[in-house]
Amino acid sequence: MDEKQVYYADYLELDTLLNCQHPLSGKHGTKPAHDETLFIIIHQTYELWFKQILHELDSVIEIFSREPIEEQEVGIAVSRMRRVHEIQKILVDQISVLETMTPLDFLDFRDELFPASGFQSFQFRLLENRLGLDPDLRHRYNNAKYHAYLSEEHKQRMIESESQPSLLDLVNRWLERTPFLDMSGYNFWDAYKQAVNAMLDRDRQHVIDNPHLSEKEKAAELDQLEGTRSSFFYLFDKKLYDELVEKKEKRLSHTATQAALLILMYRDEPILRQPYMALECFMTIDKYFTMWRYRHVEMVHRMLGTKIGTGGSSGHDYLKTTAASHKVFTDLFDLSTYLIPRSELPALPAEIKKRLGFTHGS
């Protein structure tokens, strides 16, 4: 009863929080730049949200590091990833606030920032590593490793994080443990290959038998069909697929890819709903960070044109390249290539549907 009551400002440490904006303009006899305070607060807010995303992501990583993962734990991970999605929307929308600053407003204090750069946000680099961005696949910044411009302390944290299992690593292992790929009396992969080949053969025959197509049009459509068939070669040939993994052109293993396809195509089966929502969440995190990077690209282009960024690189060109290449769950996006219509899906045996449907009773 004698304990001091919690006071709002003390709990949030507002005295510290509201006094950690220290503009650099105006310190050398020049006029203080009005918009520098906005610039500082926007970026401090980004860093606070990055901290929260890391907090959520670390909890999801901890869940997916368990073997086995209980069904309700997947649900918890999904809810926390959806929270991350909502934060990411704020990150994207926050750029609109920064864009109320004009290029001329930015020039009032830009020279004071050299050589600091948003590239030095160690939390965002840590976030990328936690998700699973391969250091070897990173676009180089001024031809140097991504952590070369960080302090020694932050650099060591980046190097340590590279050796820890990422979310992508753990998702790969989780998918590999999917129990429904080869069940007694039913092999999903064999049934799927038969369905794909039957569908493509039928489509080919439809083109050949179509009386409304000229021979030239038939040849063109048949070529297109063969192109579709060839896209399945690497999928159905494990040896070829493993070569792509070795070259880092694929990140998920062949078994994990099979499991992800099973989940995506039979998502309506009750027991696969949570795994399907988890896969959607992984892709959505990638989607929103890609959107944020592209919005950032356009904002930087508007502010700087083709000028060199404060970190010494062409900010616009660098950001544009990373927006296109720094996705982590690309393999999951690519799976749409191999989806077939629901009407073409192999029918599941009654016993298998029972196992996938949470059926209870004698």
Report how far residue 120's alpha carbon sits from residue 150's, in angstroms, rounded to the nearest whole number.
6
Q: In sequence order, what are the beta bridge partners of 183?
A: 186
For residue 229, give both structure tokens: 């068939």
pLDDT of residue 181: 80
Report how far residue 85's alpha carbon sits from residue 280's, in angstroms, rounded to the nearest whole number.
11
Report how far residue 351's alpha carbon sits from residue 63's, in angstroms, rounded to the nearest whole number.
30
Instruction: Give yes or no for a contact between 301 and 316, defined as CB atoms under 8 angstroms apart.
Output: yes
Among 219, 188, 185, CA closest to 351: 185
Mean pLDDT computed over 120-135: 95
Cβ neighbours, 10 Å, residue 330:
16
With tokens 């991504």, the residue in question is 146
**For the chain, percent of residues with pLDDT exceeding 90:** 71
Instruction: Give yes or no for a contact between 330 and 339, defined as CB atoms under 8 angstroms apart.
Output: no
- Set out the domains of the chain in order of their start, with CATH numbers: 14-356 (1.20.58.480)
Which residues make Cβ contacts (< 8 Å) with residue 115, sequence separation at least 6? 310, 311, 312
Tell me, rounded to whole angstroms, the distance of Cα 348 from its chain centroid. Answer: 32
Neighbour-count burial for 207-235, b at 16+ CB within 10 Å, e otherwise: beeeeebeeeeeeebeeebeeeeeeeebb
Average pLDDT value over all residues in the chain? 91
Report how far residue 105's alpha carbon sits from residue 94's, in angstroms, rounded to the nearest whole number.
18
Quick check: 99 pLDDT over 90?
yes
Alpha carbon of 263 to those of 127, 166, 179, 249, 269: distances in Å? 27, 22, 11, 22, 9
SS3 299: helix
**DSSP assignment letter at 344:** G
SS3 295: helix
The 10s digit of each residue's pLDDT in 41-97 is: 999 999 999 999 999 999 999 999 999 999 899 999 999 999 999 999 999 999 999
Dihedral (C-alpha) 132, 283, 325, 106: value to the nearest 10 degrees?
Answer: -100
Q: Which residue has the higher pLDDT, 137 or 152?
A: 152
Instruction: Give yes or no for a contact between 315 and 309, defined as CB atoms under 8 angstroms apart.
Output: yes
The 10s digit of each residue's pLDDT in 217-273 is: 999 999 999 988 988 989 999 999 999 999 999 999 999 999 999 999 999 999 999
The 10s digit of each residue's pLDDT in 147-176 is: 888 999 999 999 999 999 999 999 999 999
**DSSP assignment letter at 362:** -
The 10s digit of each residue's pLDDT in 183-196 is: 777 889 999 999 99
Tell me, rounded to whole angstroms, the distance of Cα 148 from its chain centroid. Answer: 24
End-to-end CA distance of the chain: 57
With tokens 């050398």, the residue in question is 28
User: Phi and psi at residue 34, in whole multiples of 5°?
Assistant: -55, -40
pLDDT of residue 40: 97
Quick check: 104 pLDDT over 70?
yes
Instruction: Give yes or no for a contact between 272 and 356, defined as CB atoms under 8 angstroms apart.
Output: yes
With tokens 């869940």, the residue in question is 63
Report how far residue 50's alpha carbon sits from residue 206's, in angstroms, rounded to the nearest whole number.
53
Which residues make Cβ contacts (< 8 Å) with residue 164, sequence separation at least 6? 129
With tokens 């068939």, the residue in question is 229
Report how far residue 153's alpha carbon sits from residue 155's, in angstroms, rounded to the nearest whole number.
5
Quick check: 34 pLDDT over 90?
yes
pLDDT of residue 333: 96
Report how far residue 334's alpha carbon sits from residue 132's, in angstroms, rounded to the nearest whole number.
17
For residue 231, give both structure tokens: 């896209």
Q: In sequence order, what are the beta bridge partners of 144?
A: 141
Determine the residue type at 354.
K
Mean pLDDT computed over 195-201: 93
pTM of the model: 0.90
Quick check: 308 pLDDT over 70?
no
Quick check: 362 pLDDT over 50?
no
Strands 186-187 and 182-183: antiparallel
SS3 183: strand
**For the chain, percent of residues with pLDDT exceeding 70:** 95
